[in-house]
Structure 1
Amino acid sequence: MFNSILNQAFEQYVFDRVDNILNIAGVTDAKYRKVVKEADSVLTQLMAIARELEAQQPELLRLVMEYEAATTIESGLTAEIVYREGIRDSLSIRQEFTAFMQKQI
Protein backbone atom coordinates (compact mmCIF):
# COMPACT_ATOMS: atom_id res chain seq x y z
CA MET A 1 0.00 0.00 0.00
CA PHE A 2 2.84 2.39 0.86
CA ASN A 3 4.46 1.76 -2.54
CA SER A 4 1.15 2.49 -4.24
CA ILE A 5 0.88 5.82 -2.44
CA LEU A 6 4.47 6.69 -3.32
CA ASN A 7 3.90 5.72 -6.95
CA GLN A 8 0.79 7.89 -7.16
CA ALA A 9 2.61 10.81 -5.55
CA PHE A 10 5.56 10.41 -7.93
CA GLU A 11 3.26 10.17 -10.95
CA GLN A 12 1.53 13.39 -9.91
CA TYR A 13 4.89 15.06 -9.25
CA VAL A 14 6.18 14.15 -12.72
CA PHE A 15 2.96 15.34 -14.37
CA ASP A 16 2.99 18.64 -12.46
CA ARG A 17 6.71 19.23 -13.02
CA VAL A 18 6.55 18.53 -16.77
CA ASP A 19 3.54 20.84 -17.06
CA ASN A 20 5.44 23.52 -15.15
CA ILE A 21 8.55 23.11 -17.31
CA LEU A 22 6.52 23.42 -20.52
CA ASN A 23 4.70 26.48 -19.19
CA ILE A 24 8.04 28.11 -18.34
CA ALA A 25 9.43 27.15 -21.77
CA GLY A 26 6.40 28.76 -23.38
CA VAL A 27 7.38 32.03 -21.74
CA THR A 28 11.18 31.95 -21.74
CA ASP A 29 12.28 29.76 -24.68
CA ALA A 30 11.91 31.61 -27.99
CA LYS A 31 12.59 28.49 -30.08
CA TYR A 32 9.91 26.47 -28.24
CA ARG A 33 7.45 29.37 -28.46
CA LYS A 34 8.09 29.63 -32.22
CA VAL A 35 7.50 25.91 -32.79
CA VAL A 36 4.29 25.96 -30.75
CA LYS A 37 3.05 29.00 -32.68
CA GLU A 38 3.86 27.32 -36.01
CA ALA A 39 2.12 24.10 -34.96
CA ASP A 40 -0.97 26.07 -33.89
CA SER A 41 -0.97 27.87 -37.24
CA VAL A 42 -0.79 24.61 -39.19
CA LEU A 43 -3.59 23.11 -37.11
CA THR A 44 -5.75 26.20 -37.67
CA GLN A 45 -5.19 25.91 -41.42
CA LEU A 46 -6.01 22.19 -41.38
CA MET A 47 -9.20 22.82 -39.43
CA ALA A 48 -10.26 25.55 -41.89
CA ILE A 49 -9.65 23.27 -44.87
CA ALA A 50 -11.46 20.39 -43.17
CA ARG A 51 -14.47 22.64 -42.48
CA GLU A 52 -14.51 23.82 -46.12
CA LEU A 53 -14.45 20.23 -47.34
CA GLU A 54 -16.81 18.87 -44.70
CA ALA A 55 -19.68 18.42 -47.17
CA GLN A 56 -17.49 16.44 -49.57
CA GLN A 57 -15.37 14.63 -46.96
CA PRO A 58 -17.32 14.51 -43.68
CA GLU A 59 -14.72 12.30 -42.00
CA LEU A 60 -11.88 14.79 -42.62
CA LEU A 61 -12.78 17.18 -39.78
CA ARG A 62 -13.09 14.30 -37.33
CA LEU A 63 -9.72 12.92 -38.46
CA VAL A 64 -8.01 16.29 -38.02
CA MET A 65 -9.48 16.62 -34.52
CA GLU A 66 -8.45 13.07 -33.62
CA TYR A 67 -4.96 13.74 -34.96
CA GLU A 68 -4.68 16.88 -32.84
CA ALA A 69 -5.72 14.95 -29.73
CA ALA A 70 -3.31 12.11 -30.50
CA THR A 71 -0.35 14.43 -31.07
CA THR A 72 -1.14 16.34 -27.88
CA ILE A 73 -1.14 13.11 -25.87
CA GLU A 74 2.02 11.91 -27.63
CA SER A 75 3.79 15.19 -26.91
CA GLY A 76 2.85 15.05 -23.23
CA LEU A 77 4.00 11.45 -22.89
CA THR A 78 7.25 12.27 -24.65
CA ALA A 79 7.93 15.07 -22.19
CA GLU A 80 7.18 12.77 -19.25
CA ILE A 81 9.46 10.02 -20.59
CA VAL A 82 12.30 12.49 -21.13
CA TYR A 83 11.84 13.92 -17.63
CA ARG A 84 11.90 10.44 -16.06
CA GLU A 85 15.05 9.54 -18.00
CA GLY A 86 16.61 12.78 -16.80
CA ILE A 87 15.92 11.72 -13.21
CA ARG A 88 17.45 8.28 -13.90
CA ASP A 89 20.45 9.90 -15.57
CA SER A 90 21.00 12.26 -12.67
CA LEU A 91 20.99 9.35 -10.22
CA SER A 92 23.39 7.37 -12.37
CA ILE A 93 25.74 10.34 -12.81
CA ARG A 94 25.66 10.97 -9.06
CA GLN A 95 26.56 7.35 -8.35
CA GLU A 96 29.39 7.40 -10.88
CA PHE A 97 30.70 10.70 -9.53
CA THR A 98 30.57 9.38 -5.96
CA ALA A 99 32.49 6.25 -7.00
CA PHE A 100 35.04 8.40 -8.83
CA MET A 101 35.51 10.67 -5.81
CA GLN A 102 35.95 7.69 -3.48
CA LYS A 103 38.74 6.38 -5.72
CA GLN A 104 40.44 9.76 -5.57
CA ILE A 105 40.54 9.72 -1.79
Structure 2
Amino acid sequence: MLNSILNQAFEQYVFDRMDNILSIAGVVDAKYKQAVKEADSVLTQLMKIACELEAQHPELLRLVMEYEAATNHESVLAAEIVYREGILDSCGVRQEFATFMQKKMQGYHYPSTY
Protein backbone atom coordinates (compact mmCIF):
# COMPACT_ATOMS: atom_id res chain seq x y z
CA MET A 1 0.00 0.00 0.00
CA LEU A 2 2.81 2.43 0.88
CA ASN A 3 4.46 1.63 -2.46
CA SER A 4 1.23 2.53 -4.29
CA ILE A 5 0.93 5.83 -2.39
CA LEU A 6 4.57 6.67 -3.09
CA ASN A 7 4.15 5.82 -6.80
CA GLN A 8 1.10 8.09 -7.04
CA ALA A 9 2.91 10.90 -5.24
CA PHE A 10 5.93 10.50 -7.53
CA GLU A 11 3.74 10.51 -10.65
CA GLN A 12 2.02 13.69 -9.49
CA TYR A 13 5.38 15.27 -8.64
CA VAL A 14 6.72 14.51 -12.15
CA PHE A 15 3.67 16.02 -13.87
CA ASP A 16 3.62 19.08 -11.61
CA ARG A 17 7.35 19.66 -12.01
CA MET A 18 7.23 19.27 -15.81
CA ASP A 19 4.33 21.72 -15.97
CA ASN A 20 6.26 24.17 -13.81
CA ILE A 21 9.44 23.83 -15.88
CA LEU A 22 7.59 24.36 -19.17
CA SER A 23 5.72 27.35 -17.75
CA ILE A 24 9.00 28.95 -16.74
CA ALA A 25 10.62 28.03 -20.06
CA GLY A 26 7.76 29.72 -21.89
CA VAL A 27 8.73 32.96 -20.19
CA VAL A 28 12.52 32.88 -19.89
CA ASP A 29 13.79 30.58 -22.66
CA ALA A 30 13.86 32.53 -25.93
CA LYS A 31 14.29 29.45 -28.15
CA TYR A 32 11.40 27.60 -26.51
CA LYS A 33 9.21 30.71 -26.60
CA GLN A 34 9.97 31.13 -30.33
CA ALA A 35 9.27 27.45 -31.05
CA VAL A 36 5.89 27.68 -29.31
CA LYS A 37 5.06 30.86 -31.24
CA GLU A 38 6.00 29.23 -34.56
CA ALA A 39 4.01 26.07 -33.79
CA ASP A 40 0.96 28.17 -32.89
CA SER A 41 1.32 30.15 -36.11
CA VAL A 42 1.51 27.02 -38.24
CA LEU A 43 -1.48 25.48 -36.47
CA THR A 44 -3.49 28.69 -36.94
CA GLN A 45 -2.69 28.65 -40.67
CA LEU A 46 -3.63 24.98 -40.96
CA MET A 47 -6.91 25.53 -39.12
CA LYS A 48 -7.75 28.48 -41.40
CA ILE A 49 -7.08 26.45 -44.54
CA ALA A 50 -9.01 23.46 -43.16
CA CYS A 51 -12.02 25.70 -42.41
CA GLU A 52 -11.87 27.22 -45.90
CA LEU A 53 -11.73 23.78 -47.52
CA GLU A 54 -14.25 22.16 -45.19
CA ALA A 55 -16.94 21.94 -47.88
CA GLN A 56 -14.60 20.17 -50.32
CA HIS A 57 -12.75 18.08 -47.71
CA PRO A 58 -14.81 17.72 -44.53
CA GLU A 59 -12.25 15.34 -43.02
CA LEU A 60 -9.43 17.92 -43.18
CA LEU A 61 -10.43 19.93 -40.11
CA ARG A 62 -10.80 16.75 -38.03
CA LEU A 63 -7.40 15.53 -39.24
CA VAL A 64 -5.71 18.82 -38.33
CA MET A 65 -7.25 18.69 -34.85
CA GLU A 66 -6.26 15.03 -34.39
CA TYR A 67 -2.72 15.81 -35.55
CA GLU A 68 -2.44 18.66 -33.05
CA ALA A 69 -3.63 16.40 -30.23
CA ALA A 70 -1.25 13.61 -31.27
CA THR A 71 1.79 15.89 -31.49
CA ASN A 72 0.96 17.48 -28.14
CA HIS A 73 0.65 14.03 -26.57
CA GLU A 74 3.96 12.95 -28.10
CA SER A 75 5.68 16.09 -26.80
CA VAL A 76 4.36 15.56 -23.28
CA LEU A 77 5.48 11.91 -23.28
CA ALA A 78 8.92 12.88 -24.59
CA ALA A 79 9.30 15.54 -21.88
CA GLU A 80 8.19 13.06 -19.23
CA ILE A 81 10.70 10.44 -20.41
CA VAL A 82 13.52 12.98 -20.42
CA TYR A 83 12.59 14.27 -16.97
CA ARG A 84 12.43 10.76 -15.49
CA GLU A 85 15.79 9.89 -17.04
CA GLY A 86 17.21 13.09 -15.57
CA ILE A 87 16.06 11.99 -12.12
CA LEU A 88 17.63 8.56 -12.63
CA ASP A 89 20.84 10.16 -13.90
CA SER A 90 21.00 12.42 -10.87
CA CYS A 91 20.58 9.44 -8.53
CA GLY A 92 23.27 7.53 -10.40
CA VAL A 93 25.71 10.45 -10.33
CA ARG A 94 25.15 10.92 -6.59
CA GLN A 95 25.71 7.23 -5.99
CA GLU A 96 28.91 7.21 -8.06
CA PHE A 97 30.18 10.32 -6.28
CA ALA A 98 29.44 8.78 -2.87
CA THR A 99 31.30 5.61 -3.86
CA PHE A 100 34.22 7.67 -5.14
CA MET A 101 34.40 9.69 -1.92
CA GLN A 102 34.13 6.57 0.21
CA LYS A 103 37.08 5.01 -1.63
CA LYS A 104 39.08 8.21 -1.30
CA MET A 105 38.42 8.41 2.43
CA GLN A 106 39.31 4.73 3.09
CA GLY A 107 42.98 5.39 2.46
CA TYR A 108 43.05 8.67 4.34
CA HIS A 109 44.13 8.71 7.98
CA TYR A 110 43.40 11.70 10.12
CA PRO A 111 46.46 13.22 11.78
CA SER A 112 46.77 12.55 15.45
CA THR A 113 46.08 15.49 17.73
CA TYR A 114 48.00 13.97 20.64
TM-score tier by shorter-chain length is over 0.9
DSSP 3-state at the match of 1:14: helix
Aligned to 2:110: none
DSSP 3-state at the match of 2:56: coil
Aligned to 2:54: 54
- Alpha-carbon distance between aligned partners in 2 of 1:78 and 1:17, rounded to the nearest angstrom: 14
- The within-5 A match list for 1:1-105 is 1-105=1-105
- Alpha-carbon distance between aligned partners in 2 of 1:89 and 1:45, rounded to the nearest angstrom: 40
In structure 1, list runs of 5 or more residues that go unmatched.
Answer: none
Q: Percent identity?
A: 79
- Alpha-carbon distance between aligned partners in 1 of 2:99 and 2:7, rounded to the nearest angstrom: 29
Question: Runs of 4 or more off by more than 2 Å in structure 1?
Answer: none
RMSD over aligned CA atoms reads 0.7
- Alpha-carbon distance between aligned partners in 2 of 1:18 and 1:73, rounded to the nearest angstrom: 14
1:10-33, Cα deviation, whole Å (9 max, x unpaired)? 101100000000000000000100
Could you state the TM-score of these two structures normalised by the residue count of structure 2? 0.90
- Alpha-carbon distance between aligned partners in 1 of 2:9 and 2:67, rounded to the nearest angstrom: 31
DSSP 3-state at the match of 1:81: helix
